[in-house]
Amino acid sequence: MKNNTQRRKERIDRGIKVRTDGLYALMSIRELSYLALPRLILIIGLLLLPLLMPGMYWQRVITITCIYALLALSFDFLAHYVGLVSLGGAFFVGVGGYMAAIMNTTLGLPPWATVPLAALAGGGVCTLLLLPCLPLRGVYFAIVSLMYPLFVARVIEALDILGGTDGITGIDSFTNRWVEQYFIIVILLLLLFGVRRLVNTDIGLVLRGVKDNDQAIRASGMNVTMYKAMAVYIASAMGCLGGACLVHIYMWSGISQFALDFSILPIAATVIGGGGTLVGPVLGCLILVPISELLRDFGTLRIVFYALILVAFIIFRSEGIMVYGQRKYQQFERWTRI
Amino acid sequence: MKPDIKSAMKQDTGEEPILRIDKISKAFGGIQALNGVSFEVHKGEILGIIGPNGSGKTTIVNCITGFIKKTSGHVYFRGMDISDKPPHKIADMGITRTFQIMRPYYTLPAYKNLVIPLFSPRAKRTGGWRGGGRLGDRNTVSIDILEEIGFERDSYVPYKTASTLPTGYLKRLELARCLALKPEIIICDEVFSGLSMSEIASMVPLIERLQMEGITLIMIEHRLRELFRVANRIMVLNFGEKLTEGSSGEVMADERVKAAYFGSQKVEEVMKHA
* Dihedral sign for Cα atoms in the order B260, B264, B269, B274: positive
Distance CA A95, CA A258 (A): 8
Distance CA B119, CA B112 (A): 11
CA angle B209, B203, B58 (to 5 degrees): 100
Distance CA B216, CA B197 (A): 25
Contact between A202 and B138 using a beta-carbon 8 Å cutoff: yes
Q: DSSP characters for A9-34? A: EEEEE-S-EEEETTEEE--SHHHHHH
Q: Which domain holds residue A195?
A: 59-272
Give residue A19's pLDDT. Answer: 44
Query: What's the average model confidence in pLDDT over A139-162?
Result: 88
Return left, alpha or beta for B147; rule: phi > 0 is left, psi -120 to 50 is alpha, else beta: alpha
| Residues in B 138-157 with any Cβ partner in A closer than 8 A | 138
Q: What is the CATH number of the domain that holds B33?
A: 3.40.50.300
Q: Which domain holds residue B28?
A: 1-93+222-274
Task: Give the end-to-end CA distance of chain A in Å, rounded to a whole number.
Answer: 12
Q: What is the mean pLDDT of chain A?
A: 86
Chain B closest-CA separation from residue A203 CA (Å): 8
Examine residue B149 and state whether it is found in any structural domain, yes or no.
Answer: no
Q: Which of A248, A205, A241 is nearest to A68 (CA)?
A: A241
Residues of B in contact with A218 (CB under 8 A): 67, 86-88, 91
Greater confidence (A130 vs B101) lies with A130
Per-residue pLDDT of chain B (274 residues; tens, 9 = 90+): 444 444 444 445 556 789 999 889 999 888 888 888 999 999 989 999 988 888 888 899 999 999 999 889 999 999 889 988 999 999 999 999 998 888 888 888 888 898 898 888 888 888 777 766 566 678 888 888 888 888 887 788 888 888 888 888 888 898 999 988 889 999 998 888 888 888 888 888 889 999 998 899 999 988 888 888 889 999 998 888 888 888 888 888 888 888 877 776 655 665 566 5
Report yes or no: A217 at the B interface, CB cutoff 8 Å: yes
The total of structural domains in chain B comes to 1
Examine residue A11 and state whether it is found in any structural domain, yes or no.
Answer: no
Examine residue B10 and state whether it is found in any structural domain, yes or no.
Answer: yes
Report yes or no: A11 at the B interface, CB cutoff 8 Å: no
Give residue A3's pLDDT. Answer: 55
Q: Strand, helix or coil at B26? A: strand
Q: Is B53 exposed, middle or buried (0-12, 13-18, 19+ CB in 10 A)?
A: exposed
Examine residue A101 and state whether it is found in any structural domain, yes or no.
Answer: yes
Query: What's the average model confidence in pLDDT over A110-125?
Result: 91
Examine residue A156 and state whether it is found in any structural domain, yes or no.
Answer: yes
For residue A179, what are the CA distances in angstroms to A138, A238, A242, A249? 39, 19, 15, 11
8 Å CB contact between B181 and A221: yes
Distance CA B22, CA B70 (A): 12
Examine residue A234 and state whether it is found in any structural domain, yes or no.
Answer: yes
The total of structural domains in chain A comes to 1
> In the predicted model, is pLDDT for residue A69 greater than 90?
yes
Examine residue B254 and state whether it is found in any structural domain, yes or no.
Answer: yes
Distance CA A47, CA A44 (A): 5
Residues contacting residue A259 through CB under 8 Å, at least 6 positions apart = A90, A149
Examine residue A293 and state whether it is found in any structural domain, yes or no.
Answer: no
Report yes or no: B182 at the A interface, CB cutoff 8 Å: no
**β-strand partners of B75:** B21
8 Å CB contact between B21 and B38: yes
Distance CA A288, CA B126 (A): 51
Chain A closest-CA separation from residue B237 CA (Å): 24
Examine residue B37 and state whether it is found in any structural domain, yes or no.
Answer: yes
Q: Which of B62, B10, B12, B18 is nearest to B37 (CA)?
A: B62
Q: Which of B227, B264, B266 is nearest to B247 (CA)?
A: B227
**β-strand partners of A23:** A20
Examine residue A38 and state whether it is found in any structural domain, yes or no.
Answer: no
